[in-house]
Amino acid sequence: MSETKKNILITGAAGGVGRATVKLFHERGFRVIGVDRKSVYGEFPADGLFIQADISVPENLEKIFMQASQFTSTLDVLVNNAGFQVTKPLIETTVEEWDMVMTSNLRSVFLGAKLAYPLLKANGGAIVNVSSVHAVATSANIAAYAASKGGLLALTRAMAIEFAPDKIRVNAVLPGAVDTPMLRAGFHRGRENEASEESQLAALAAKTVNGRVGLPEEIASVIYFLADNSQSSFITGQGLLADGGATCRLSTE
Q: What is the pLDDT of residue 189?
A: 54
Q: What is the DSSP letter of 178?
A: B
Residue 41's domain comprises 7-178+216-243
Q: Are 145 and 183 in contact (CB under 8 A)?
A: no
Q: What is the pLDDT of residue 206?
A: 75
Name the β-bridge partners of 78.
Answer: 9, 127
Domain membership of residue 143 (yes or no) is yes
Helix (H, G, I), strand (E, B) or coil at 219: helix
Domain membership of residue 208 (yes or no) is no
Domain at 71, CATH number? 3.40.50.720
Q: Whole-angstrom Cα distance, residue 67 to residue 27?
A: 23
Q: What is the DSSP letter of 81?
A: -
Domain membership of residue 199 (yes or no) is no
Q: Are 56 and 100 in contact (CB under 8 A)?
A: yes
Q: What is the pLDDT of residue 204?
A: 73
Q: What is the pLDDT of residue 249?
A: 86
Global confidence as pTM: 0.92
Q: What is the pLDDT of residue 191?
A: 53
- HSE, CB side, 13 Å, CA atoms: give it for residue 16: 16
Q: Whole-angstrom Cα distance, residue 121 to residue 68?
A: 15
Q: What is the pLDDT of residue 2?
A: 44
Query: Annotated catalytic, 145?
Result: yes
Q: Are 104 and 84 in contact (CB under 8 A)?
A: yes
Domain membership of residue 186 (yes or no) is no
Domain membership of residue 188 (yes or no) is no
Q: Could you list the pLDDT tens digit for every one of the 253 residues in the chain?
A: 445 789 999 999 999 999 999 999 999 999 999 999 999 877 899 999 999 999 999 999 999 999 999 999 999 999 999 999 999 999 999 999 999 999 999 999 999 999 999 999 999 999 999 999 999 999 999 999 999 999 999 999 999 999 999 999 999 999 999 887 776 666 655 555 567 778 777 777 777 888 888 899 999 999 999 999 999 999 999 999 999 998 998 877 7
Q: What is the pLDDT of residue 3?
A: 53
Domain membership of residue 22 (yes or no) is yes
Catalytic residue among 41, 117, 145, 224: 145
Beta-carbon neighbour count of residue 195 at 10 Å?
12
Q: What is the pLDDT of residue 47?
A: 96
Side chain identity, residue 161: I
Q: Whole-angstrom Cα distance, residue 116 to residue 32?
A: 14
Domain membership of residue 109 (yes or no) is yes
Q: What is the pLDDT of residue 184?
A: 62
Q: What is the pLDDT of residue 208?
A: 84
3-state DSSP of 17-52? HHHHHHHHHHHCCCEEEEEECCCCCCCCCCCCEEEE
Q: How many domains does the chain have?
A: 1
